[in-house]
Structure 1
Amino acid sequence: MVSSSANPEVVTLPAPSRNQVYVTISALEGGHLTLPESLFVTPADPEKRSTVPSLSFLIQHPPSIQTLSQDPKSQPTKLIFDLGLKRDLSGYREAQQHHIAQRQPTTVSPDVAESLQKGGVSPQDIDVVVLSHVHWDHVGTPSDFSNAEFVVGNGTLHLLAHGGGPLYPAVLFNADELPRERTRELPPVQESADFKPHNRVTEHKWEPLAGFPSAIDFFADGSLYIIDAPGHLHGHVNLLARTAPGKWVYLGGDCCHDKRILSGERDIALYDDGRGGLRSVHMDTDGATRTVERVRTLLGEGKVREEGGKHAEVEIVVAHDGGWKERNGGRFWPGTL
């Protein structure tokens, strides 16, 4: 949580445990799409369009000491965050196709499966897929991951089946996008007695963390946290990963579409919603703004510490940061962050 002591701007992350587990993260290719700047940031060049990646990530969680003692050949748990674009664009519904036509040019190769295979991992080797949300450029090709459990934010399955209001009708989603028998939905941030989600992840509980009201310690060892990141779409989540002593990575999904929004150089753009009002690319602009403000607290040298006072560094990567991709080619699988 945010410290209220001498320096209220300092964010405090959990201290490492005695036998702290660290995860490794590798970026994955997930295709590209083209975004008009004026729909995403303000002020903007009304003519500028940028082709950007839809980044995905392979996260490997090592087996515990106890597991290794029982089975020395145990392998790391392999988790993927987001799946980018579908390899075959014909797999999108007609309304989605219309939207994709406005995001040209797009590229779909290499996709996540091909990116994994180039580094010697089969999609069938993936244990868990966590989706930040279910927009078309993040759902990829779930059928490639035939052995994986899918984890989605609360409200996602209802959104896929019924849509999310007049600006997010059901025709923009595929009701059967995810394998129902292998999909787990995170619990609501605020419990409801009448809420009965499909295959709820019952062992997980939301707790405050580093200024974020709701986070889940996914492996229950302080190595990887799912962060509730409301605003962009129902069920939108981010990840916060501990990668080395004093080193963390925050995977921001679509909390914003341009790093200049995080730095404060730009604001979220508003435009005509076609219904006599204004909208943004976020379902709830105010909620998205609050999420950005929370993520922003992780920026800046000396602003983040672990409990006990040790300084920590947090690298923030959002899904469509083309500049990050250009600067970090060696950190794509089999390279690491």
Structure 2
Amino acid sequence: MIGRMAAAAAAFLALGGMQAPPQPQAPGELALWRLDCGEFVIKQYGAFFSDTFQYPPGPKRIVDSCYLIRNGDRYMLWDAGLPGELAGQTVDMPAQTMTLNERIVDQLAPIGVRPEQIEFLGISHYHLDHIGQAADFPNATLVIGKGDVEVLRTQTGDFIQPDRLRPWLDGERRMVEAQSDIDLFHDGRVVMLSMPGHTPNHFALLVRLASGPVLLSGDLYHFTEQVENRGVPPFNHNRADTLASMDRFDRIARNLGARTIIQHEPADVAKLPAFPEAAR
């Protein structure tokens, strides 16, 4: 009897072609490049960045940085910098001067990344210096805060230029209107974090590199002094939301032991390898 059962079991396994279950595929390498997306000189930065008269009058230099993330063979761009037509120029405005050395697409070319390879374009918020070159990435799904989209549909101004995102706003390209944290690749490694206050649905970005997590600030902070003194710019959408988001951002940084990068702070951007090297 036992012999017949063993024979039947062997036949079943042979007929079914039984094999060990496939092992889960190891995740692809995660890499992050810092990109030069412009520079500002704020002429009266005390009045521009603090609603409590915290800072000296100015001027102050800050940078505009964007980031390329590769997750295996998939690409995401975080923020899209100043408008590409400013490349090679310095523009003088009443409150600031703006300079752009090189377009994002021209920076990506030497590392072999084409604009059409960008799958996701994550936008921290709707201000011009974060959406200026978005249209250069025609295949990208735009991921932006729902409340920010509502502003773009109803307002215009020097730093609110809906036409920069027109193909997405008009439904010609795919757009995700995020209201809470969003895991872009569904693997927990690249997560847009809801940090409202600077704008209605402002976001920061968490990138869990093998070398350790990196937190990109968007415009939650603009420079290092804000972290300690909680300076809130007078043009922020909501003061209380800003302070709550600062608290959340700092707690995440502490709990994860993350490297924090204030995207407008030259010293913070310099924590990452100089392009074309990547953090991994």
Q: TM-score, normalised by structure 2?
A: 0.78
Q: Higher mean Cα deviation, 104-113 or 281-290? A: 104-113
* CA RMSD, 1 decimal: 2.6
3-state DSSP of counterpart to 1:152 = strand
- In the superposition, relative to structure 1, how do residues 290 and 83 fare at CA in structure 2: closer, same or farther (>3 Å)? same
Query: 1:185 aligned to 170, 176, 180, which one?
Result: 176
Tell me what 1:259 maps to.
224
3-state DSSP of counterpart to 1:157 = helix
Distance 2:30 2:61 in 1: 30
**Quick one: which amino acid aligns to residue 80 of structure 1?**
L
Does structure 2 conserve the Cα–Cα contact (< 8 Å) formed by 1:23 and 1:224?
no
Tell me what 1:230 maps to.
196
3-state DSSP of counterpart to 1:60 = strand
Tell me what 1:30 maps to.
37
The higher radius of gyration belongs to: 2
Does structure 2 conserve the Cα–Cα contact (< 8 Å) formed by 1:33 and 1:103?
no
Does structure 1 conserve the Cα–Cα contact (< 8 Å) formed by 2:41 and 2:96?
yes
Tell me what 2:161 maps to.
174
Query: 1:54 aligned to 64, 69, 72, which one?
Result: 64
**Quick one: which amino acid aligns to residue 241 of structure 1?**
V
| Shift of residue 111, structure 1, vs aligned partner | 2.8
Query: 1:40 aligned to 49, 72, 81, which one?
Result: 49
- In the superposition, relative to structure 1, how do residues 326 and 249 fare at CA in structure 2: closer, same or farther (>3 Å)? closer
CA deviations on 1:276-300 (whole Å, 9 max, x unpaired) are xxxx13111111111111112244x
Distance 1:54 1:171 in 2: 17
Query: 1:288 aligned to 228, 242, 267, which one?
Result: 242
Unaligned runs of 5+ in 1: 1-16, 63-75, 91-96, 164-168, 189-213, 271-279, 305-311
- In the superposition, relative to structure 1, how do residues 313 and 124 fare at CA in structure 2: closer, same or farther (>3 Å)? same
Tell me what 2:17 maps to.
none
Tell me what 1:199 maps to.
none
> How many equivalent pairs are there?
246
Q: TM-score, normalised by structure 1?
A: 0.66
Tell me what 1:78 maps to.
75
| Shift of residue 327, structure 1, vs aligned partner | 5.0
- In the superposition, relative to structure 1, how do residues 291 and 216 fare at CA in structure 2: closer, same or farther (>3 Å)? same
Work out whether 1:332 is the aligned partner of 2:279: no
> How many percent identity over aligned positions?
24
Unaligned runs of 5+ in 2: 1-23
Does structure 2 conserve the Cα–Cα contact (< 8 Å) formed by 1:83 and 1:139?
yes
Structure number with greater CO (CA < 8 Å, separation at least 6) is 1
Does structure 2 conserve the Cα–Cα contact (< 8 Å) formed by 1:152 and 1:183?
no
Tell me what 1:161 maps to.
153
